[in-house]
Structure 1
Amino acid sequence: MSSPRKSEKIGRSFQDNNKEDREDEEKGGFVGKVKDFIEDVGDKIEEKVGFGKPTADVTAVHFPYINLKKAGIVADVLVKNPNPIPIPLIDINYLIESDGRKLISGLIPDAGTIHAHSSETVKIPVNLVYDDIKDTYRDIKPGSIIPYRIKVDLIVDVPVFGRLTLPIEKKGEIPIPHKPDIDVEKIHFQKFSSEETIAVLKLRLENKNDFDLAVNGLDYDVWLSDVNVGGADLEKCAKIGKNGVSYMDLPITFRPKDFGSALWDMLRGRGTGYTMKGHVNVDTPFGAMKLPISKEGGTTRLKKNKEDGGSDDNDENEVS
């Protein structure tokens, strides 16, 4: 049988525990009420003042320039700020990958501010160096088109919400251009004299790319037997399909006496070397490009036309 003193201790113990529980409940209830009050005030401020989460989207991807060494890529990101105050763009993280393989990545800190109740386009410029990716991924060849995915994380700081990350992405294709191959297949003389000779080069232009080229101009210089016979900067139009071939007539004017004995070797059919260098301006599905053209080590055999004293056997001049 329990003693009265022991029962009294147990009773006091239960009373103390109940008191502590009530205090914890009251304390927890108070903290909870304060928390609920703060959240309620925040919701009302957000509702009254009009705070909201910003949104972002990649609206376009541009290629300002493309050449044999690198491509300039600019991603246009439209950011909408629904808030009554400006929000800072803390950082922009970007990644460009192809088939899950990283091509380039980077960070743009302190990227600016988006004004209150406005939409602004943020430009993300990137330089993609072809040698870097070709050295890393051997299967990426000149003349090919590779798929890409741009991933962007915009980090913004918004009142009420705090720091937010807005992830966005865009898919497309990037060209890895290859310079066209050229050959001077024929040289046709329109006028032949010791003081001035006018000729037309029959140029064969081969597109080594997996995309079309629309030629709208070219500049070139020509050497015959190590003598510069001049060149020109012409507006020429021709469309060359992917991996296709086109032909152009290019005029040249020179003085045969500048060649010395080399000219007589050419006229006797012994042949002489020729070199051609220049650039071709083309439009492509990815934008305008200026691609180099060059040919060294070609051999020509020249013959005059019949009206200039040549034979009937071959009115056009042979090139090999």
Structure 2
Amino acid sequence: MAHLLNKAKEVVVDKLAHIKKPEAKVADVGFGHVSRDSATLLSKLEVTNPYDHAIPVCEISYTFRSGNRVVASGKMPDPGSLTANGQTRLEVPVKVPYDFLLSIAKDIGKDWDIDYELELGLTVDLPIFGNFTIPLTKRGETKLPTLSNIF
């Protein structure tokens, strides 16, 4: 009897492992809105939903690092839902204070860009599975806004 139960568990685990899940990638990271005290970094996510019904997105968590320092982190609750059988584009705004940019002036002074690492966690509510988090990481560099962008 125990052997039959173990065999049934193996079949269920195998079937669940092969179920399609939503996939996501960071398409672009760049500066959006610029104000006198901060700049907003916009990261654009492309999420593919393989199901024939919309899937709600519970939250998007983010951590923005530069030079091994955490610049900004937080959560974006309830950003909407994923389109059925299609691709959804989501934007995650990250507010970067200028006092941080001044603290890394040596790195910025060379080429007027900032090297970064952006970690995102896209949490969706999947039927049967429950909350499922898709981890994403993007490393790169982005050009900083100039004074003409601010004024």
Q: TM over 0.5, yes or no?
A: yes
5+ long unaligned stretches in structure 2: none
Match of 1:80 among 45, 48, 54: 48
State the Cα deviation string for residues 258-308 of structure 1 (Å, max 9, x = none): xxxxxxxxxxxxxxxxxxxxxxx4xxxxxxx144xxxxxxxxxxxxxxxxx
Q: Which amino acid is 1:149 matched to?
A: E
| Cα pair 2:26 2:44 within 8 Å, conserved | yes
Equivalent position SS for 1:29: helix
**Shift in alpha-carbon separation, 1:65–1:113, aligned structure 2, 3 A:** closer
How large is the RMSD of aligned CA atoms in angstroms? 3.0
Match of 2:105 among 118, 133, 140: 140
Deviation at 1:111, TM superposition (A): 2.4
Deviation at 1:156, TM superposition (A): 1.8
| Cα pair 2:29 2:142 within 8 Å, conserved | no
Deviation at 1:175, TM superposition (A): 2.0
**1:32 is aligned to 2:1:** no
**Shift in alpha-carbon separation, 1:36–1:176, aligned structure 2, 3 A:** closer
**1:89 is aligned to 2:57:** yes
Deviation at 1:139, TM superposition (A): 4.1
| Cα pair 1:74 1:123 within 8 Å, conserved | yes
Match of 1:112 among 80, 83, 91: 80
5+ long unaligned stretches in structure 1: 1-25, 180-280, 282-288, 292-320
Deviation at 1:85, TM superposition (A): 2.5
| Cα pair 1:95 1:104 within 8 Å, conserved | yes
| Cα pair 1:96 1:105 within 8 Å, conserved | yes
**1:157 is aligned to 2:125:** yes
Which whole-Å CA distance do the structure 1 matches of 2:113 and 2:17 have between them? 48
Q: How does 1:250-269 map to 2 (within 5 A)?
A: none
**1:129 is aligned to 2:97:** yes
Deviation at 1:34, TM superposition (A): 4.2
Q: Which amino acid is 1:92 matched to?
A: I
**Shift in alpha-carbon separation, 1:114–1:139, aligned structure 2, 3 A:** closer
Equivalent position SS for 1:31: helix
**Shift in alpha-carbon separation, 1:57–1:117, aligned structure 2, 3 A:** same
Q: How does 1:19-58 map to 2 (within 5 A)?
A: 26=1, 28-36=2-10, 39=12, 43=15, 51-58=19-26
Residue 135 (structure 2) aligns with: 167
Residue 250 (structure 1) aligns with: none
Deviation at 1:168, TM superposition (A): 1.6
Which whole-Å CA distance do the structure 2 matches of 1:176 and 1:114 have between them? 32
Residue 27 (structure 2) aligns with: 59
- Higher RCO structure, 1 or 2 (CA under 8 Å, sep 6+): 2
State the Cα deviation string for residues 109-134 of structure 1 (Å, max 9, x = none): 22221122111001101221112x15
Residue 192 (structure 1) aligns with: none
Equivalent position SS for 1:89: strand
**Residues matched between the structures, number:** 147
| Cα pair 1:61 1:74 within 8 Å, conserved | yes
Which whole-Å CA distance do the structure 2 matches of 1:148 and 1:46 have between them? 34
State the Cα deviation string for residues 26-62 of structure 1 (Å, max 9, x = none): 3x1342354356x18x83x998xxx511110111123
| Cα pair 1:46 1:160 within 8 Å, conserved | no
Equivalent position SS for 1:85: coil
The sequence identity of aligned pairs, in percent, is 28
Which whole-Å CA distance do the structure 2 matches of 1:134 and 1:61 have between them? 17
**Shift in alpha-carbon separation, 1:123–1:35, aligned structure 2, 3 A:** same
